[in-house]
């Protein structure tokens, strides 16, 4: 299970969702603005204050650059 915390008009969020989709991952997108989640609360929940924040199998992996690094190392293959 993959969760991705996003905001509207975020290019890194868009790139992260595209990469997950290209690799065949289904994900739940949570828009922190729509849900009223503060950056402080996001930090408590994920360990990161910026978006996107990506959780894979219950483990925070970070943002888009972290996701991309996993992909480059071929650790993201589904």
Overall domain count for the chain:
1
> Considering the domain boundaries, does residue 6 fall inside one?
yes
Amino acid 17: pLDDT: 98
> Considering the domain boundaries, does residue 78 fall inside one?
no
Going by the DSSP 8-state scheme, the letter that residue 23 receives in this structure is T
> Considering the domain boundaries, does residue 77 fall inside one?
no
> Considering the domain boundaries, does residue 13 fall inside one?
yes
Amino acid 24: pLDDT: 95
Q: 44: domain range?
A: 2-72
Q: What is the torsion angle, in degrees rounded to the nearest 10, for the CA atoms of residue 45, residue 48, residue 51 and residue 56?
A: -60
Q: What is the CATH number of the domain that holds 61?
A: 3.40.30.10
pLDDT band at 76 (very low <50, low <70, confident <90, very high): confident
> Considering the domain boundaries, does residue 66 fall inside one?
yes
The model's pLDDT over 49-68, given as tens digits with 9 standing for 90+, comes to: 999 999 999 999 999 999 99
pLDDT above 80 for 77: no
Alpha helices in 4-76 (DSSP H): 11-22, 32-35, 39-46, 64-72
Q: How many other CB atoms are there within 10 angstroms of residue 73's CB atom?
A: 8
């Amino acid at each position: 299970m993959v969760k991705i915390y996003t905001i509207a008009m975020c290019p890194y969020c868009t790139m992260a969702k595209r990469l997950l989709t290209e690799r065949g991952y289904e994900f739940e997108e949570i828009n922190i603005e729509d849900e009223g989640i503060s950056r402080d609360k996001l930090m408590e929940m994920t360990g990161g204050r910026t978006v996107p924040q990506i959780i894979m199998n219950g483990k925070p992996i970070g943002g888009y650059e972290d996701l991309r690094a996993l992909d480059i190392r071929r650790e993201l293959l589904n």
